[in-house]
Amino acid sequence: MKLESNTRTHARVTSQLLSLVTGLVLFLFPETLALAQDVEANLKTVYVSADYAMTTHKSGLVESNDTGSTTRYSLGFNVGDRKQLNVALQTETSAISFALNSTATALLYRDTRISYRMGYFYLGIVSAYAEASAQSAGGTDIFSGQGAGTGYNAGVYIPVGGRALLQVDLTSAAISGFLNKDEAVTVSMGSRTDIDIVGHLPISKRSVGLDLGYRQRTQPITVADVTTTETVMNTYIGFSFGTEM
């Protein structure tokens, strides 16, 4: 019950933050309402992207905080007469060593996303896969395993200056079954909640773009009936390459 309550709280807070950011930008820049067509103009039919993040990981599981890096790769397609249907594959990896108590964590998330855009806004479903592990100070596994589940994502594109896009994205995905290598230790992963705020800036008119963003994730993990929360904050830079077909 505590895990479900924490998950609902995280989802409610991030949803409210998404609405607040969207409303604030539209209030400060009302002219963007007249630029809805620029969303379509700035989306590529086929694109790949890669980004590198400076990561701050606050781990309740190993009771420590530290910094490291995260990489993410994406392959996506925008199809339809107005590019309203998006299909994207994303892979994100991070490995953090905590110097304070000599512990470590490793996380891999792989999402398949399908969303439908209506003007500025989009809503979609997520098929999620996760691999996670944590090691104690002696290098012994606290847990190590993998699982899969489903979720949703929602967001908004806001044209800025006719050529750039500000994107705010909210994702929630639950891992319904987690298989720990040590079957004697029960592990479950609750609904992760991601909020991603990124500016997509064109470098070349046709194909290359620069991405600058901030992404925060909360991930509840229960090990042997003890629930803790992993909070991961990423400030990232990336590049995208797209084309029309």
pLDDT tens sequence across 3-56: 444 445 545 555 555 555 555 555 555 554 444 567 887 888 999 999 999 999
Give the domain CATH number at 80: 2.40.128
User: Residue 49: which domain range?
Assistant: 2-239
Residue 213 lies in a domain: yes
Average pLDDT value over all residues in the chain = 86
Based on the structure, what is the number of domains in the chain? 1
Residue 222: beta bridge partners?
188, 227
pLDDT, residue 239, reads 96
Residue 68: count other Cβ atoms within 10 Å of its Cβ. 17
Residue 102 lies in a domain: yes
Residue 116 lies in a domain: yes
Residue 191 lies in a domain: yes
pLDDT, residue 126, reads 96
Stretches in the chain below the pLDDT threshold 50: 1-7, 10, 32-35
Could you tell me which of 185, 178, 192 has the C-alpha nearest to residue 136?
Answer: 185
pLDDT, residue 153, reads 95
pLDDT, residue 1, reads 46
Residue 245 lies in a domain: no
Residue 35 lies in a domain: yes
Residue 244 lies in a domain: no
CA distance 77 to 242: 9
pLDDT, residue 122, reads 95
CA distance 202 to 192: 31
Residue 62 lies in a domain: yes
pLDDT tens sequence across 166-175: 999 999 999 8
CA distance 92 to 52: 10
pLDDT, residue 235, reads 96
Residue 94: beta bridge partners?
70, 107
